[in-house]
Amino acid sequence: MELRQSYLIPFPVRRTYAAWVSSDTVIAPATKMDIDPVVGGHYRLIMESPEFVSRNEGRFLIVEPERHIRYTWEWNGDGEVSEIDVSFSEAPEGTRVSIIHSGFQTAESRENHSKGWDSYVRGFIAFLESGA
């Protein structure tokens, strides 16, 4: 089971890609990122609060700078390991980011991740707009 989503990011490919794979790009509810964007490198998203701690991680399978990345993803050790495939392409208004997220075990998981991507991309654009 997979989802396909596409977003227009109003920034050039170079800046969009660099922010996407940067440990400095922390989008709420994440509190820390740890990203090593090389094949075999890790992708870790950490959320910490007094009530909750979550560690979501994966490994990079493909890294083609400014063009394409693919990495695994597991939400807080839940056993559902999915793959995220992200392509970056120039668009007249900035960058087209196309995501194929596959390997969901349930329709509910797929739907939750679909909403999560929409929220993440809104936060990602706001992060870039802030000049961070």
With a cut of 90, say whether residue 70 has pLDDT above it.
Answer: yes
The confidence band for 115, taking pLDDT boundaries of 50, 70 and 90, is: very high
Average pLDDT, the chain: 95
- Say what the pLDDT of residue 72 is: 97
Cis peptide before 92 (omega within 30 of 0): no
- Say what the pLDDT of residue 77 is: 87
With a cut of 90, say whether residue 46 has pLDDT above it.
Answer: yes
Q: How far, CA to CA in Å, does 46 sit from each of 7, 9, 95, 100, 110? A: 24, 24, 27, 22, 21
For the chain, the structural domain boundaries read 2-129
Which residue has better confidence, 113 or 132?
113
Instruction: Give the residue carrying structure tokens 């227009």.
Output: 8
Q: E strands within 25-119? A: 32-35, 42-48, 53-64, 68-74, 81-91, 94-102
- Say what the pLDDT of residue 131 is: 85
Q: What topology is assigned to 2-129 in CATH?
A: Alpha-D-Glucose-1,6-Bisphosphate; Chain A, domain 4 (3.30.530)
54-69 pLDDT, tens digit each: 999 999 999 999 999 9
Mean pLDDT in residue range 30-52: 95
